[in-house]
Amino acid sequence: MHFNYSTYSLKLKHKFTIARGSEEVVPVVLVYFTKDGVTGVGEAAPSDRYDEDALRITKYLSTLSFEGISANGSLDEWLDWAMAKADGIRSLEAAFDLALHDLHGKLNDEPTYAHFGADRASACTTSFTIGIDDKEKIREKVLEADIYPLLKVKLGSDHDKDIINTIREVTNKLIRVDANEGWDLEEGKRMCDWLAERNIEFVEQPFPAENLEDTARLREYSPLELMADENCIDSSSIPEIDGAFDGINIKLMKCGGLREASQMIRMARERDMKIMLGCMVETSVAITAAATLSPLVDYADLDGNILTTNDPFDGVKVEDGKLILPEGPGLGISLKA
C-alpha cells in the first residue's frame, strides 16, 4: 500500500459569511492510498472552529511513516490502523477513512453506498446555502439558487429579520435556518416564534455549544425543531444532547469519516432523533462521500462543492435539488477532464 497527499485551494463564488466570520479561499488536503495499481482518494477540509488547519495537517503528514499497514487486511483493520495514525485530527481521520473506503470499494467492485446498505435511488434533496450578506447580495444569491427547492439560510447576524424578509420578497420556498451559535435564549425564543410563521423547516444550532441548558429550554418553547451541529461532533455527543435537540447534523470532517457517521446514524435512529448530513466547503470527494449515506438520513445539506468555482472532481450531481449518486465502485469520483 502506498500513500500520497497534496493540498488544493478551493475558491468560493461569493465571499461566504456566517456568524463566526468570512472566507473566500479554502485550503483542503487530498490523500491517496494505492494498492495493486488502484487508488482511493480522500479529503480533509479542516475547520478553524475545531482548531484544525491545512498547514498543520501537511506538516504532520510530512513526518508520517506509512510502513506497517497490512495490504491484505480487512477494511476495518485498515481503518483502525489509519485512525491511530491521524493524531486526533478529525478532518485527517475523515480523509483516511474516505480514501480507504474508496480503495476498498474499487478493489471489490462495490459502490460505497452499497457497502452501507444505502439505496442509490433514495438519496436526499439537498439544500443550497445562503451566507450572511447585505440585501442586494442576498437577493442576487437567492435568484442564482432558483434551481434548488430548499434554502439553508445563515443567521446569527445583527439583521436576521431583514435577511429573511429579503428572501421572502423573492421566494416562498422552504427555508432551513442555521444560527451558528449566534443567539442567546431571549433572541432564540423571539426568532423561533417569528420564523415559525415564515415557512421555516427547522433551526440549527441556535446557541453556543457550551450553552446546552438554554438549548433544552428553547426546545421546550420553540414551535420549530432544533438541530445540533456544533453540539454534535461524533457518536459520543449523542447521549449528551438527546433531549436538548430534535436532531443532529453529521459532518464527516467533525466525526472522522463514514464508519463513524454510520454509527451516529444508528444511534440517532435508536433515539428517534432526526438526522441531517452537512458539510464544510469541500471538493466533490468529501461531498460525494457524505452523499453515499444520504439515503439513510432525513435531510441533506451537501452543497459545499457547489459554492466553489474550481472543484477538480466529478462525483455526485444535483438534479432539481436531488442528489444523484455516481454508479461506479468506491465513491465513484473521477478527475474532471
- Write down the least CB distance from residue 18 to Mg ion, Å: 8
Phi, psi of 64 (to 5 degrees): -90, 140
- Write down the least CB distance from residue 249 to Mg ion, Å: 6
Lay out the site mask for Mg ion across 109-138 (x = CB under 5 A, - = otherwise).
Answer: ------------------------------
> What is the rounded CA–CA span in Å between residue 234 and residue 160?
29
Segment contacting Mg ion by CB under 5 A, of 84-92, 124-132, 138-146, 202-210: 202-210
> 93, 201, 229, 311: which one contacts Mg ion (CB under 5 A)?
229
Residue type, 337: A
Segment contacting Mg ion by CB under 5 A, of 112-120, 174-182, 250-258, 317-325: 174-182
Q: Which residue lies nearer to Mg ion by CB, 78 or 183?
A: 183
Q: Which residue lies nearer to Mg ion by CB, 248 or 331?
A: 248
Segment contacting Mg ion by CB under 5 A, of 40-48, 119-127, 222-230, 265-273: 222-230
Q: Is 282 in the site for Mg ion (CB under 5 A)?
A: no
Beta strand pairing status for 225-228 and 200-204? parallel
Segment contacting Mg ion by CB under 5 A, of 6-14, 98-106, 175-183, 211-219: 175-183
- Write down the least CB distance from residue 247 to Mg ion, Å: 12
- Write down the least CB distance from residue 278 to Mg ion, Å: 6
Segment contacting Mg ion by CB under 5 A, of 50-58, 66-74, 145-153, 198-206: 198-206
Q: Is 52 in the site for Mg ion (CB under 5 A)?
A: no
Segment contacting Mg ion by CB under 5 A, of 87-95, 181-189, 196-204, 255-263: 196-204
> What is the rounded CA–CA span in Å between residue 215 and residue 62?
42
**C-alpha grid cell for residue 65?**
511513516
- Write down the least CB distance from residue 129 to Mg ion, Å: 9
Q: Which residue lies nearer to Mg ion by CB, 106 or 254?
A: 254
SS (H, E, C) the chain: CEEEEEEEEEEEEEEEEECCEEEEEEEEEEEEEEECCEEEEEEECCCHHHCCCHHHHHHHHHCCCCCCCCCCCCHHHHHHHHHHHCCCCHHHHHHHHHHHHHHHHHHCCCEHHHHCCCCHHHCCEECEEECCCCHHHHHHHHHHHHHCCCEEEECCCCCHHHHHHHHHHHCCCCEEEECCCCCCHHHHHHHHHHHCCCCEEEEECCCCCCCHHHHHHHHHHCCCEEEECCCCCCHHHHHHHECCECEEEECHHHHCCHHHHHHHHHHHHHCCCEEEECCCCCCHHHHHHHHCCHHHCCEECCCCCCCECCCCEECCEEECCEEECCCCCECCCEECC
Residue partners of 309: CB distance under 8 A and separation at least 6 = 11, 12, 13
Q: How many chain residues are in contact with Mg ion, going by CB under 5 A?
A: 3
Segment contacting Mg ion by CB under 5 A, of 25-33, 95-103, 204-212, 326-334: 204-212
Q: Which residue lies nearer to Mg ion by CB, 155 or 296?
A: 155
Q: Is 178 in the site for Mg ion (CB under 5 A)?
A: yes
Residue closest to Mg ion (Cβ): 229
Q: Which residue lies nearer to Mg ion by CB, 204 or 214?
A: 204
User: Interface with Mg ion by CB under 5 A: which residues?
Assistant: 178, 204, 229
